[in-house]
Structure 1
Amino acid sequence: MPVVLILLFIVCHALVLAIGSGPAGVGSFIFLVAAPLLAACCCVWRARHDRAALGWYTIALAMLLWSGGMALNLADALGAGRADITPRASLLLYVLYAVPLVFILARPRRERAIISLIEAAMAALLGVLFFVHTSFFADRIDVDEQAMRNMRYMFDVQNLCIASFATVRWLASDVPEWRSFFRVLALYALAYLLIAGYINHFTSEDSFGAYNDLLIDLPFLLLAWLAVRRASAPVLVPNPRLVRLVQAGGPMIVALLLLVVGTLVVDHARTLAFASFVVATIGFSLRSTLLQIGLLEHQAALDQLARQDGLTGVANRRQFDAVLQTEASRAYRSGAGLGLLLADIDHFKAFNDAHGHPAGDRCLQAVAAALQANVRRAGDCLARYGGEEFAVIVPDCGREDAVALAEKLRLGIETLALPEGAVSISVGVAFLRPSAMATTTQLLDDADSALYEAKRAGRNRVSVRDDVVAGF
């Protein structure tokens, strides 16, 4: 059905041209305004059904700008506009048409809103610069025969940049929805590049209302068809280095274009050129700073996850091993005592079997929270040692302090109220004396042996390996 409607659109436009499009080509102008509007509607429809919604809305905005430029041409042809304003306003819209496309091509897949706002402002300034430069040539067309040629080349460069960047983003996209989006944009941009180049260089002397107008419809109708077709993009495994290169280098596009176009307008818009240099420098620097802050925050979050048990929120086994080694080394140097507590939830397997794994997870979380509430010293480290077993590293303490903390933890769990009933823990305590030369492995073995003794003695109690510790 979309193909039939598109063919019908072309046929109707051709019939209007064959019959006569009316004074000043009004009939043809209606189709030229309608073609990008149709493409915009199709892109909006696709945006409502696609994860790459921002991209589709951006293309729709570009289509509306282009259609607005053509509508002003229509007004000018009908004599409804002002000769000193309407052509310049039409040129402005044709130039600004590229701004949303450059923005989406330069933007990484995911970005903070403030960074996107900075990029949008830089892209808008780029459009203003491009308009100033093309207006400079437009004002000289009557006195400089080279001016028209320069304008055509400027639009050729703009269209070539969009087509090239879109193709690169298509080849470097690793998310299916965005790969499909950039594929559509690349195909549209390539079609637009070829047809605009032909129209501008070979038929620019022809007025609107000729059969060449049918060519202008084609890129927009192609975009409309691709937007509603929703065909999966061909299977493509992008090169990981290319993906990273594009994601890292893409944001430089707008800043570099600002510098280049600013250099072009420096002779006839010095203030604006200086502003472009300042905005390109500050904008890119600010964007890089915000991005770096985001990366540091993300890295900090990853570091925290690497040290934290996902279920209970306390330190995980990796963090426990690192802290134990650090505190043991410090104890050797300073001569301070080091306590180690291993706590195991009594009859946890039976609890899990009776109440289910979700209840078991809630039990682990509740026990971890109760233990953490009683481990109050800043230097103490509570960790999930494995399964239903927890460990507490107690640096710079005496034997009595470690035993007292173990008893406090036991009592805290004994009074813990759970919907499924009461639970208890058994605690094994090991202590590294200042004069000890034992390893952390020996300390762990001692705590584990003490824990085993507590369970063998009836559970819900604290046991200390005094006989082993005394031999240190």
Structure 2
Amino acid sequence: MVLPLLFVPAHLVTALANWNPVAWPPLLFETMAAFIACAACAWRASRSRGRARQGWLAVAAAMLCWMAGVGCQFVGSLTPAGTSGTGAISMLLFVLYGVPLAFVLASPGADPWRARLVDGALALVLGALFGAYIFSFVALAGTDDAGALTLAWTFDIQNGFIALFALVRFRASSIERERRLFGALTGYALAYMAVAGFYNHFVDDGVYGVLASPLVGLPFLLLAALALRGAGLARAPQSGRMFERVVVAGCPLILPSALLIVSAALVPHMPILAIAGCVIATLGYGLRAVLVQIHGIGEREELAQLSQIDPLTGLPNRRQFDEALRRELTRARRSGQGVALLMIDIDHFKLLNDTLGHRVGDDRLRAVAAALQGCAVRASDLVARYGGEEFAAILPGASPTEALIVAETMRATIEELELASPAPDGLVTVSIGAARISDIETDTEQRLVERADRALYDSKRAGRNRVTAAWPVEEPTRALG
């Protein structure tokens, strides 16, 4: 807070030294205050990430517009009256100042970028229509007392709009970085609304105006201090997840609603432009809703897929395995064909993990998974990660001989990979238990899994790296090839 303590007295001393209502030093100090706020917000953006970074950049852009607007007034104060035309440019920049702020308040950062692009376009159209409304009663050369009062009230509404929604977003933010952003923006917006309202309604262009000039820079210095500290208002009490959801869901209505309000105000002055604003607001919000819905459908499909895929191996997970086994048993009862199940376990995997580490263990799991998947050549076969180092394979319609051939192929393929292991044989091997539906009408998934598990246990007990069937086998079955 050292900066305001030095900046404001210097501004006041300079204003008193230049006892002239149109002197350029006060405007220079106001431009410098906005520049300090802009630089501080840009610096904070460089230290932030994600949504907070985008928000700080938008606030910095708003400060840049305001600084340019005062800068035009500063240039105008150095130019003979009526020869520069900087007044209209300055007014336009003050209008554009609200565009980035409206965007950051009305566009939830979690929404897809296409929807946020629509938000940006709506914010620009809102700024254009707001500017058209102002210039409908403010001439390039200035305005009368009635127009000045209308202009003051118009900017009061804009400032109140920004302060209100900044406070709402602050209250609804549960993420700390966003709370700091909206907290700083709320503190700035409330201070700016108070200073601008006081200055526009109670300060004239005489000596009183010169004395009040240092007040203009205070909101910007406050914003700079909050940005540099990375802090906002004091933490507000949590308003609940429901309030947060309502605010985030309702934010996209802000820009179209404001467009409709400004368009309604333009009807007496520019009816065609007002109609265009209404059409843009309606179509823009509709397009945005469609884009968000498309994104949501894509996310739901992706989540549904991820919920059934093991992230380490890329194989179907236990959930998809259970659903597939249930589905195949139902199909087997209708068709009269059998279903074979293989339970596959990596031998001495705990020893491998403890000796070589979990990263190597994960590599071995991926390699085994890929090899097992490659052995299931039929489109109807399904290989899944059952849990830990255990896999399972569903072989619909496979005969006992076919099931044993697939199982032996899997066992031999894993052994031929020659993956190093601290196991007694020095290689990664698998033990397999095979089971098949014995009674299509009464067998259940649980019984089938239990029989395959018992066969797997028998393989382990018999020395590992072998296939054991849950039914009598007269001769060992060899892998094809």
Identity %: 42
Instruction: Give the CA deviation at 1:233.
Output: 5.7
The equivalent of 1:71 in structure 2 is: 71
Alignment of 1:413-424 (within 5 A): 413-420=414-421, 421-424=426-429
TM-score normalized with structure 1 length: 0.92
Letter in 1 for 2:13: L
Unpaired stretches in structure 2, ≥5 consecutive residues: 474-481
Larger deviation, residues 212-221 vs 157-166:
212-221
Shift of 1:138: 1.2
Between the aligned partners of 1:82 and 1:398, the Cα distance in structure 2 is 97
Report Cα offsets for 1:295-353 as digits up to 9, x if no partner: 22222222222212232221222221121111111211221211111111122233333
Q: 1:154 to 1:448 in 2, by over 3 A?
A: same
Task: Describe the superposition over 1:172-226 as per-residue Cα deviations: whole angstroms up to 9, x where unpaired.
Answer: 1111111011111001100111111111112245489611212212211221222
Which range moved further: 183-192 or 428-437? 428-437
Check whether the contact 2:160–2:193 (CA below 8 A) recurs between aligned residues.
yes
**CA separation of 1:232 and 1:415: change in aligned 2, threshold 3 A:** farther
Residue 277 of structure 2 corresponds to which residue in structure 1?
276
Distance 1:301 1:33 in 2: 50
AA of the residue aligned to 1:33: T
Output the CA distance in 1 between the equivalents of 2:323 and 2:206.
78
Partner amino acid, structure 1, of 2:359: P
Correspondence for 1:115: 115
Give the partner amino acid of 2:260.
Answer: L
Secondary structure of the 2:23 match is: helix
Q: Equivalent residues in 2 for 1:37-436 (5 A)?
A: 37-51=35-49, 52-79=52-79, 85-139=85-139, 146-204=146-204, 206=206, 210-231=210-231, 234-235=234-235, 236-420=237-421, 421-433=426-438, 435-436=440-441
**Residue type matched to 2:462 in 1?**
A
CA distance in 2, matches of 1:91, 1:207: 24
Tell me which residue corresponds to 1:441: 446
Contact 1:385 1:391 in 2 (8 A): yes
Q: Secondary structure at the match of 2:211?
A: coil
Report the alpha carbon displacement of residue 157 of structure 1 after superposing the two structures with TM.
0.9
Q: C-alpha deviations, 1:104-128, integer Å up to 9, x for none?
A: 1112133433333221111011001
> How many angstroms does 1:7 deviate by?
1.8
Mapped partners of 1:49, 1:435: distance in 2: 65
Deviation at 1:287, TM superposition (A): 2.0
1:389 alignment partner AA: E
Counterparts of 1:143 and 1:8, CA distance in 2: 36
Partner deviation per Cα, 1:133-162 (whole Å, 9 max, x = no partner): 011121399897643332222111111010
* 1:336/1:433 contact within 8 Å kept: no
**Matched residues in 1 for 2:184 and 2:122: separation?**
25
Residue aligned with 1:384, SS: strand
Instruction: For 2:179 and 2:143, locate their aligned partners in 1 and report how far apart those are by CA, in whole Å.
Output: 47
Rate the CA distance shift 1:7–1:297 in 2: closer, same or farther, 3 A.
same
Q: Which residue of 6, 25, 28 corresponds with 1:27? A: 25
Moved more, 375-384 or 336-345: 375-384
**Secondary structure, counterpart of 1:342 in structure 2:** strand
Q: Which amino acid is the alignment partner of residue 35 of structure 1?
A: A
Unaligned runs of 5+ residues in structure 1 are none
- Partner of residue 463, structure 1: 468
User: Post-superposition shift, 1:282?
Assistant: 2.5
SS at match of 1:292: helix
Q: Distance in 2 between matches of 1:22 and 1:177?
A: 44
**Aligned partners of 1:381 and 1:201: how far apart in 2?**
76
Q: Is the 8 A contact 2:184 2:232 kept in 1?
A: no
| Amino acid in the other structure paired with 1:213 | S
Which secondary structure state, in structure 1, belongs to the residue aligned with residue 345 of structure 2? strand
Q: How has the CA–CA distance of structure 1 residues 95 and 232 changed in structure 2, closer, same or farther, with 3 Å as cutoff?
A: closer
Normalised to the residue count of structure 2, the TM-score between the two structures is 0.90
285-294 or 177-186, which moves further after superposition? 285-294
1:261–1:440 distance in 2 versus 1, CA, 3 Å: same
Alpha carbons of structure 1 residues 88 and 163: separation in structure 2 relative to 1, 3 Å: same
| Partner deviation per Cα, 1:415-467 (whole Å, 9 max, x = no partner) | 11324452221211111257442111111111112222223333222222225
Q: Specify whether residues 143 and 456 from structure 1 end up closer, same or farther in structure 2 by C-alpha distance, changes over 3 A only.
A: closer
Quote how far apart the aligned CAs of 1:267 are. Answer: 2.9
RMSD: 2.4
Asked whether the 8 Å contact 1:317–1:383 carries over to 2, the reply is yes
Any runs of at least 4 consecutive aligned residues in structure 1 with deviations exceeding 6 A, and if so which?
A: 140-144
1:15-38 CA-partner distances (Å, limit 9, x unpaired): 122222558311222112211112
2 CA distance for matches of 1:187 and 1:430? 70
Shift of 1:376: 2.5
Distance 1:159 1:401, change over 3 A: same
Contact 1:415–1:422 under 8 Å retained in 2:
no
Q: Which moved more, 1:441-450 or 1:413-422?
A: 413-422
Aligned residue pairs total: 466
